[in-house]
């Protein structure tokens, strides 16, 4: 154990792998190799189809090898927050960042609940500050946070007084929550009052949303008139003692006295600082999407509170574990060397997912295999949310930068810019004995300077300092750059999970999100930021390089998967074959690897108490599912190709977040929850085309409409069964052909897909087929 004292803060232990799991993994690899050997030995007797199948199967084998390398040495971390105060008399300060970019796609009430959950975590309030980046520059967001800051004066002490476990109010006051049976005296009265106040808060925000169209953009809101061209807006929303007393009188002084037992910020029941930040934007300048917003938050917090540790979450990712900051500090402070913990990452997990997870959002398999595997190497990847960072690491300081030479490094204006306040604060990034100042108003002027749109010009921000630019998946790129400097990262998976977020509840939102992920990952792969270069010329470990490569090529998997999906239909239409005949022993290899892969994933789902239907949804819609591969991933590849060819740039598409429902009266939504929805987006064309092609192939095979075999055995049972499997995988699209409204595939999409299917049929007839020797 890294901590020298008797009571450990954390432990890193290897996970024991189930013997059956390891046997399955090795058996699948052996079958892949046998399959490739068979293809090579019989390649000369076949032509184009056999070669294409061999190339696809080689890619699948390569992917499986990478998967085994990642999963081979999994580890887990255990934390002991009860030992933290005994080992660390004074806890370090933490700056918490929340990012939102569009008040329409990300309703303010979602951001408000995330902020309230962070303000109420079990950690000394004078050691916390919360910064909210509003990249949409919405007056709604500012108004909502202002009202939330008033409500927080009572919500935070209430949570800490009664040790409330679930601290976002919308979850705590939901219909599923139950009051404890052993209520303390007066609890029920306070609970009722808190619920009433939260409902009033929600009503105020709803009224503000409805009145936004008539908002007069003057006075306090003059800077919000143009969201793409506005100055920096920074508001410190923390209430003074006099403002707290005034607010107390609004809800009843007796109630206020019950839950507000200590008005001093230095008490643990106080409320941390809350700061609203809308960085300056100019229409003629690039703002680098979320990475740019994170860099602004880093600089603004640096001149205002300058905590040595930073937490960043998306606006929908609330704190689900009230002790999550304590867990993270155990990991960041529990090792002898800082290099062991550049950042602590909590995996993304989701609440209120639809029954059986029809869109494959719950990443069950990666949580139990890939994440512990990453932890056993140089550490987990940075996922962009639910992550605790060391400020000195984000500032680009190396492992050899000691306390003595931090000032020399920081004084380089090319690194940090020309803000003397920021440069001075950077020299203190290693100090863990920082208290946030009581009054932040004196630092607003300096914060405005570092949040300017031109501040980063001629500096290292976005390259060697801060979040790295160059990809819409700035999280993966930034994490890889940190690992390339020799740092390691730590996986944090407490029970209950540290953070919970909202998963896409419609097919279109899910596909749009994954398309952005694929595009961003490929941007990294086809650039100077490729992990191979980081291994050759920096300090990225070889296995960690392979782990990053596995993630980055995720979108490229769509090409061999699409080709292999087309092969059975092509073979039936041309009366050829790409699989051995039933009478050939080699067919065992193909059947065995297919069944073993199914059993491998099915065992995990059944072992976790999940349903077979949820496993089937994972097969169709998971990260490696058939539908995302030929829709989102394929379009991500095309988008990146257009960028490389200079045809178009990559656009950052904000993922739509669902508004919290106040009731469950909408029966139609309940009945249709999980159904695929369609629009005229071209993203649905490839999958619809594949469905038409395979239906045509099945009809030709069943009714004997194929051409004569060209001197070789024609298509057989194997090709027919593969076609049936593909149709089953694309069943939502089959239902969409007969659906109505948004649940039906639009006629323009059907016509385009039919035309492409006919073109494919014509193409099949023109490819010459070799004769078997």
Residues 621-656 as b/e (b if ≥16 CB within 10 A, e otherwise) read bbbbbbbbbbbbbbbbbebbeebeeeeeebebebbb
pLDDT at 218 (0 to 100): 66
Q: Is 185 left (phi over 0), alpha (psi -120 to 50) or beta?
A: beta
CA-CA distance, 72 to 199, in Å (whole number)?
A: 50
pLDDT at 202 (0 to 100): 95
Cβ contact 572:698 at 8 Å: yes
pLDDT at 211 (0 to 100): 84
By residue count, the chain amounts to 773
pLDDT at 245 (0 to 100): 43
Is the link from the previous residue into 45 a cis peptide, with omega within 30 of 0?
no
pLDDT at 220 (0 to 100): 67
Beta-carbon contacts of 384 under 8 Å, excluding residues fewer than 6 positions away, are: 290, 312, 314, 473, 474, 475, 476
pLDDT at 663 (0 to 100): 46
- Both structure tokens of 466: 């801060």
pLDDT at 655 (0 to 100): 83
- Count of CB atoms within 10 A of residue 264's CB? 11
Q: Which of 95, 102, 134, 135 is catalytic?
A: 135
CA-CA distance, 630 to 355, in Å (whole number)?
A: 24
Give the global pTM.
0.92
| pLDDT averaged per 10 residues, the chain (length 773) | 67 91 95 95 85 96 96 95 87 96 94 97 95 94 94 94 92 75 80 94 92 70 82 81 44 36 47 95 90 97 95 97 96 92 95 87 87 96 96 87 56 82 82 65 92 93 95 96 96 95 89 94 96 96 97 97 96 90 90 95 90 93 93 95 90 80 50 85 96 94 79 78 96 94 95 95 69 45
Cβ contact 500:319 at 8 Å: no
3-state secondary structure (DSSP) of residue 176: coil
Is residue 475 annotated as part of the catalytic site, yes or no?
A: yes
* Phi and psi angles of residue 639, each rounded to the nearest 5 degrees, phi first: -60, -45
Is residue 357 annotated as part of the catalytic site, yes or no?
A: no
pLDDT at 435 (0 to 100): 60
Cβ contact 168:119 at 8 Å: no
- Count of CB atoms within 10 A of residue 765's CB? 9
Give the H/E segment covering residue 314. Answer: strand 309-314
pLDDT at 219 (0 to 100): 66
């Amino acid at each position: 154990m890294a901590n020298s004292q008797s009571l450990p803060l954390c432990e890193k232990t290897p996970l024991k792998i189930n013997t059956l799991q390891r046997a399955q993994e090795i058996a699948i690899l052996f079958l892949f190799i046998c399959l490739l050997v068979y293809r090579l030995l019989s390649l000369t007797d076949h032509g184009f189809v056999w070669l294409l199948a061999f190339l696809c199967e080689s890619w699948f084998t390569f992917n499986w090898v990478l998967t085994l390398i990642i999963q081979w040495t999994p580890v887990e971390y255990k934390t002991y927050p009860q030992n933290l105060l005994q080992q660390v008399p004074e806890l370090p300060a933490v700056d918490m960042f929340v990012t939102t970019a569009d008040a329409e796609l990300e309703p303010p009430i979602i951001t408000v609940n995330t902020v309230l959950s962070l303000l109420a975590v079990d950690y000394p309030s004078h050691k916390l500050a919360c910064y909210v980046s509003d990249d949409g520059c919405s007056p709604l967001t500012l108004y909502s946070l202002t009202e939330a800051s008033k409500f927080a004066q009572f919500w935070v002490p209430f949570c800490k007084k009664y040790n409330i476990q679930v601290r976002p109010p919308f979850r705590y006051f939901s219909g599923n929550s139950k009051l404890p049976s052993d209520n303390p005296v007066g609890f029920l009265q306070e609970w009722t009052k808190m619920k009433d106040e939260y409902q009033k808060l929600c009503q105020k925000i709803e009224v503000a949303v409805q009145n936004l169209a008539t908002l007069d953009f003057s006075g306090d809101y003059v800077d919000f008139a143009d969201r793409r061209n506005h100055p920096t807006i920074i508001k410190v929303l923390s209430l003074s003692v006099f403002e707290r007393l005034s607010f107390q009188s609004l809800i009843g002084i007796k109630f206020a006295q019950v839950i507000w037992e200590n008005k001093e910020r230095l008490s643990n029941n106080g409320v941390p600082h809350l700061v609203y930040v809308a960085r300056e934007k100019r229409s003629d300048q690039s703002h680098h999407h979320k990475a740019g917003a994170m860099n602004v938050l880093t600089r603004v917090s640096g001149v205002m509170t300058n905590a040595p540790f930073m937490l960043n979450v998306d606006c929908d990712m609330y704190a689900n574990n009230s002790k999550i900051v304590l867990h993270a500090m155990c990991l960041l402070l529990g090792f002898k060397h800082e290099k062991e913990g550049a950042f602590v990452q909590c995996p993304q997990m989701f609440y209120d997912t639809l029954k059986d997870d029809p869109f494959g959002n719950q990443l069950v398999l990666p949580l139990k295999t890939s994440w512990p595997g990453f932890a056993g190497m140089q550490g987990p990847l940075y996922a962009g949310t639910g992550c605790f960072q060391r400020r000195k690491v984000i500032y680009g300081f190396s492992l050899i930068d000691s306390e003595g030479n931090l000032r020399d490094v920081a004084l380089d204006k090319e690194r940090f810019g020309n803000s003397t306040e920021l440069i001075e604060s950077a020299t203190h990034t290693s100090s863990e004995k920082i208290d946030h100042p009581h009054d932040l108003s004196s630092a607003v002027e300096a914060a405005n300077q570092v949040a300017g749109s031109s501040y980063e010009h001629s500096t290292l921000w976005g390259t060697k300092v801060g979040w790295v630019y160059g990809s819409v998946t700035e999280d993966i790129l930034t994490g890889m750059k940190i690992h390339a400097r020799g740092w390691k990262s730590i996986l944090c998976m407490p029970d209950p999970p540290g953070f919970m977020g909202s998963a896409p509840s419609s097919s279109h939102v899910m596909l749009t999100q994954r398309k952005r992920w694929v595009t961003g990952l490929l941007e990294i792969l086809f650039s100077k930021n490729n992990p191979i270069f980081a291994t050759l010329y920096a300090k990225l470990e070889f296995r960690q390089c392979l782990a990053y490569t596995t993630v980055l090529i995720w979108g490229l998997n769509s090409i061999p998967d699409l080709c292999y999906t087309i092969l059975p239909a092509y073979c039936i239409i041309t009366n050829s074959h790409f699989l051995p005949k039933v009478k050939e022993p080699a067919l065992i290899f193909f059947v065995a690897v297919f069944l073993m892969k199914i059993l491998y994933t099915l065992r995990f789902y059944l072992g976790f108490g999940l349903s077979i239907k949820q496993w089937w949804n994972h097969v169709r819609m998971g990260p490696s599912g058939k539908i995302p591969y030929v829709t989102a991933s394929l379009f991500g590849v095309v988008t990146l190709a257009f960028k490389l060819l200079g045809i178009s740039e990559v656009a950052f598409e904000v993922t739509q977040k669902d508004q919290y429902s106040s009731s469950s009266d909408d029966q139609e939504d309940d009945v249709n929850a999980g159904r695929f929805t369609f629009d005229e987006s071209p993203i649905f064309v490839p999958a619809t085309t594949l469905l038409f092609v395979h239906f045509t192939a099945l009809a030709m095979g069943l009714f004997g409409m194929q051409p004569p075999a060209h001197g070789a055995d024609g298509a057989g049972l194997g090709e027919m069964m593969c076609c049936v499997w593909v149709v089953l995988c694309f069943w939502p699209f089959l239902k969409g052909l007969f659906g109505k409204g948004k649940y039906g595939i639009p006629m323009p999409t059907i016509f385009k897909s039919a035309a492409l299917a006919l073109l494919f049929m014509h193409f099949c007839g023109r490819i010459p087929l070799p004769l078997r020797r």
